[in-house]
Structure 1
Amino acid sequence: MESFSTAGLPAARRSEAWNKLYSSHLNHVDFIPADRSHFNAELSMSRLGPIGLARMAADSSSIERTRHHITVGSPRLYTFVLQTRGEGELSHCGHEARLEAGDFTLCDSSAPHFFRVNDNSEVLMLRVPAETLRVYVPSPEVFCGQLLKGNVGLTGTAAAMIRSLASQAELGIPSPYDQRVARNLLEVMATSYALAFDDQIQGSSVVRGRQACIVRHIEANLRDPGLSPASIAAALRISPRYLRLVFATGNETVSGYILRRRLEECARQIQEPGWTGHTLTEVAFSWGFNSSSHFARSFRDRFGVPPRQYRRSGLTH
């Protein structure tokens, strides 16, 4: 087991050092503490056969992985995130999962994500290679960013099992048994997701996979002002008609999805402490808008208040 802590690091460079440590041992990200001068975090890592286990406790922080952090061709990992203490919020693949103790979500290392944790938060992460997870969950991308509540089906059993196994793995599980234990754990996780998302599992796996591929492309290129149904179809080598048909199973058009997600990201960012020095227009343009009036009008339609009022309400809480 490897363990790391901010204890003993000078306060002035603690945030930078932790960002480098997290990026080198887990994923390349921007790890931004809410209070850089009073920030503490701990990370421990161990293994269970093919599964990497990581336990992280941290003060209030945001963790952002953008397309610039993702290297094409790098090994793809799926991470089950279990909130064991406190609260967290993951924005990923078009979904927002607000996590309380006992809840799960799933994260894909090949797609951008934004994860916020509050003070006194702790999470357990199960990092599984894509080819290993697909043996148990054929289309894991369908579930990325979705919330799996701790009181649904076998989720509570899975959470208790992971807590226990993480503690055992930190002490060391004999190698003849770790592969078997890993298989049993992945079976329990697969069953938990199957019970919770039975309605989404029904239907063609090809269509579900294509939907997830489209969403992943949109999320990776959301900041590009040239993103459009035509550019998506061209990039994915499908016809615009097929793109509309695949997306038609939901309640949004492709253009409607793009606008909604840009507005959601702008709403999140204008309330982030790190962006208080940036104008609303800068935030809007950073997420692909090219007209401040269109952004302001669309934002008010979506959230019921102008973006400036929305920012003030967030900064006063």
Structure 2
Amino acid sequence: MRPAAGRRQRGGGNLDVYSTSHVPPDTRTNYWNQVYSSRFAQVTFNPLDHQEFEAELKLDHVGDLGIARVRCKPTDIERTRSHIERSPRRLFSFVMQLRGSSVFSHYGHEITLEEGDFTLCDNATPHRLRFTNTADFIILRLRPETLRTYLPNPERVCGLKLPAREAFTASAATMVQTLWDQVERGLPTKFDAMVTRAMLEVLSTSYALAFDPWIAESSVVSARRAEARQFIETHLKDPDLSPGMVARALRISPRYLRMLFAPERETVSAYILRRRLEECARQIASPLWRGQTLTDIAFRYGFNSAAHFTRVFRDHFGVTPRQYRKAHLSAPPLSLS
């Protein structure tokens, strides 16, 4: 179903508004995936209940700063390697949880976002946002060169949680909410540069206060580690993925690659294994993958032995893959209220 005229509206300011409100439930998910991917970002929405799914997207920009508000019923939002290949333009996004809660997986981290929390997302690396209740969040999107003026090493904090309880975060959250309210009413363009600068200064200050040791690291080392992690994240399904493959792709020595990961207290091999196991566990626990065998899921993420997969999975999670699936899929269904 093509995105139809009439689903787009103009808000009180200069907002583009897209909604599923006039779309039949049977075609709503496909419609929304087309609209969201063509108007904002290449991702896939996988609702927990396709018949109950509803979503709304509002878009605008303030100078070089894109701003969006997304509301939706429980869903998984996923950006994969194939999405990235279809939209190669790199952007960073500050995501603020306005209402509800979510689980965000990115750069090897998995965090829970509550109201007022922030995280930073790099669209050049796969990521996933999961909501088990109705979600409402605001996204501030900008180019890397703009962000680096305020936050020199953004890759260092991608996928980490900036909690609402941190000293400056509450001020940043209030400022983002106020900015959105003003955008909805209509913000005169002559203030764009001033507003963008003030917003990014508050956000960068919040991150500096919360993650100073991380941000202060050498920009060269930080950038190279981020490249390595990005390569790993986009090649997790490649059975040939190894530290040697990563080093060759980045044109660095294996020794230098080990040095890059030393501060993480995790070897490159351990990082690859952990991320593969986490992705397998996510699919094993998801009703969307109920029809796939455990072996199919393991082989999809580069494992080539069911026995080896079972052993390392049990070592990591404390239960076998079969026990893990039974424990998660036998849980009572979540309420959509």
Give the TM-score, by structure 1 length.
0.98
Amino acid at match of 1:302: H
Once residues 200 and 103 of structure 1 are traced to their aligned partners in structure 2, the CA distance between those partners, rounded to angstroms, is 19
SS of the residue corresponding to residue 142 of structure 2 reads strand
Moved over 6 A (4+): none
Match of 1:109 in 2: 123
Structure 1, unpaired ranges of 5+: none
Partner of 1:256: 270
Match of 1:6 in 2: 20
- What code does the residue aligned with 1:83 have? Q
CA distances 1:10-49 after superposition (whole Å, capped 9, x unpaired): 1110000001111112211121111011111111111111
For residues 126-205 of structure 1, the aligned pairs below 5 Å read 126-205=140-219
Of 257, 266, 269, 2:283 maps to 269
Matched with 2:319 is 305
Note the C-alpha offset of 1:289: 0.9
- Greater CA drift, 102-111 or 196-205: 196-205
The residue type equivalent to 1:41 in the other structure is: A
SS at match of 1:90: strand
Distance across 2 between alignment mates of 1:280 and 1:104:
34
Give 1:51's aligned residue: 65
Whole-Å separation in 1 of the counterparts to 2:86 and 2:330: 41
Q: Using structure 2 for the length normalisation, give the TM-score.
A: 0.92
Q: Which one of the candidate residues 50, 58, 78 is aligned to 1:64?
A: 78
Shift of 1:203: 3.1
SS in 1 for 2:18: strand
Q: One-letter code of the match for 1:224?
A: D
Distance 1:9 1:119 in 2: 21
Distance across 1 between alignment mates of 2:161 and 2:155: 13
CA distances 1:223-250 after superposition (whole Å, capped 9, x unpaired): 1110001111100000111111111122
Work out the percentage of aligned pairs sharing the same amino acid.
51
Q: Report the CA distance between 1:75 and its aligned residue.
A: 2.2
Deviations 1:66-120 (A, max 9, x none): 1111137832110100001001111111111210111111111111111112222
Q: For residues 147 and 294 of structure 1, what CA distance do their matches in structure 2 show?
A: 33
Q: In structure 2, which of residues 237, 256, 279 is the aligned counterpart of residue 223 of structure 1?
A: 237
How far, CA to CA, are the matches of 2:206 and 2:165 in structure 1? 11
8 Å CA contact retained: 2:42, 2:87: no
Q: Which residue of 1 aligns with 2:93?
A: 79
Q: How far apart in 2 are the matches of 1:203 and 1:43?
A: 37
1:181-229 deviation digits (Å, cap 9, x = unpaired): 0110000010000000012123322111211111111111111110001
**Structure 1: how far apart are the matches of 2:104 and 2:37?**
18
